[in-house]
Amino acid sequence: MGNALVCISTEGAREKSSKHEVNHPPLLASFKGRAGLLFSLSSSENKRKKKAGKFDGQLDEQALAAALLFNHHQGNNGNSLPFPRSKSVVYPSSGSKKDGFTRSSSSRQQSRSDSLLTRPGQLVNQDLETNRVVLVHGGGFGAWCWYKTISLLVKAGFKVDAVDLTGSGIHYSDTNAIRNLAEYVKPLSDIFYKLGEGEKVILVGHDFGGACISYVMELFPSKIAKAVFIAATMLSSGQSALDLISQQKGFSELVRQPQTFIYANGKHSPPTAIDIDKTLLRDSWFNQSSTKDVALASVSMRPIPFAPVVEKLFLSSNNYGSIPRFYIKTQGDCAMPASLQESMINSNPPTQVFELKGSDHAPFFSKPQALHRILVEISQVPSKHI
């Protein structure tokens, strides 16, 4: 997403040809009529797979298997998903805060609470405000990108939902038809409308998902216990994602390379979406991720809707500002450089900042265990200490 937005601000809208056909990836083309789909894994599913060998290797194999199943399903022109969906359980661990925001690093020594995270179904004995996590993907991604994070959190005893935003993942809508941020985040908003009285969640956003969770934070402040931004667009009030990127200078040539813009309404109208150049994925987005995860992304990523990227957000201190925010920096990120992340942190200081050393733009691929430990640590921070 950072790569795509930099291109807009520095290069302007470009076309590869005067004739542009909108083709969704083969993985996605056959899924129709399923709005607001959520990915969920159950604790029982994890127990069945507990003996299947090294966990990260197993997750890589699951990713490829999922891609193959989706493609096979497409060939059969089916209308339902090729695997069952279920709900799971939830819980968390501890943290601290000093004046302003504090910083932590993924290179710290393992603590006793870290060791608890490896025990399937282990619930930390602590009174928590919520035991539910909602994961929101970034631009071009879908709920599928969280498969390692979902598995690790569920294994640790959390209840997890990952949402496909409109026109993303296996959501049926055409990306080019999305007119504003409200339409784009509707599947996420629907989750909050369905929450019961007094129910809260820990809301996590990656990349452009940061703007999406900010929008929802303004609407549902009483239903969000904490908000976590992972290499994400953490906007100040009155900013759009495009505003944020266009203010930055000094990016490498790598992130300045142009993307393909889709003009579904004609080349004399504004772009409707930003297509992702799959040849740039390895170097700009996934420079520390495995070949298998890059392969999964290459068959699963979809265009990024243009209208939400240029929409300004207006955030109030009473709503958005009332929710504790945590930022996770990705130090080896070429798509959302550390300098840009630091600028957002300084302009709109969160409660606490964590750093993932050696992570690319997709820590859920490149550093899943370290990301998992930080998410659990954030979930354990007592609200009374924030």
Look at residue 374 in the predicted model and tell me its pLDDT: 97
Instruction: Rank 116-120, 317-321, 330-334 by mean pLDDT and report only the highest.
Output: 317-321
Give CA–CA dist 343/203, Å, rounded: 22
State how many domains the chain has: 1
Is residue 224 included in any domain, yes or no?
yes
Q: Quick check: is 333 catalytic?
A: yes
φ, ψ (nearest 5 deg) of residue 173: -65, 150
Kindly list the distances between the CA atom of residue 284 and the CA atoms of 113, 175, 258, 335, in Å, as whole numbers in the listed order: 34, 23, 12, 5
Position 154: which residue type? V
Look at residue 120 in the predicted model and tell me its pLDDT: 45
Q: Quick check: is 207 catalytic?
A: yes
Q: Spot the catalytic one: 60, 164, 333, 360.
A: 333
Is residue 14 included in any domain, yes or no?
no
Q: pLDDT tier at 385 (50, 70, 90 boundaries)?
A: low
Is residue 98 included in any domain, yes or no?
no
Q: Spot the catalytic one: 207, 275, 293, 360.
A: 207
Q: What are the pLDDT digits (tens) for 198-233?
A: 899 999 999 999 999 999 999 999 999 999 999 999
Is residue 329 included in any domain, yes or no?
yes
Is residue 49 included in any domain, yes or no?
no
Is residue 271 included in any domain, yes or no?
yes
Q: What are the pLDDT digits (tens) for 91-100?
A: 233 333 333 4
Instruction: Rank 1-10, 78-87, 96-105, 174-183 by mean pLDDT and report only the highest.
Output: 174-183
- Cβ atoms 171, 165 nearer than 8 A: yes
Is residue 47 included in any domain, yes or no?
no
Q: What are the pLDDT digits (tens) for 115-169?
A: 444 444 454 445 667 889 999 999 999 999 999 999 999 998 899 999 999 999 9
Is residue 222 included in any domain, yes or no?
yes
* CATH code, domain carrying 246: 3.40.50.1820
Q: Determine the structural domain holding residue 273 and report its residue range.
A: 119-380
- Please list the residues that pair with 39 across neighbouring strands: 162
- Cβ atoms 58, 128 nearer than 8 A: no
Q: pLDDT tier at 383 (50, 70, 90 boundaries)?
A: confident
Look at residue 3 in the predicted model and tell me its pLDDT: 57
- Cβ atoms 223, 192 nearer than 8 A: yes
Nearest CA to 338 out of 320, 353, 326 is that of 353
Q: Spot the catalytic one: 73, 137, 361, 372.
A: 361
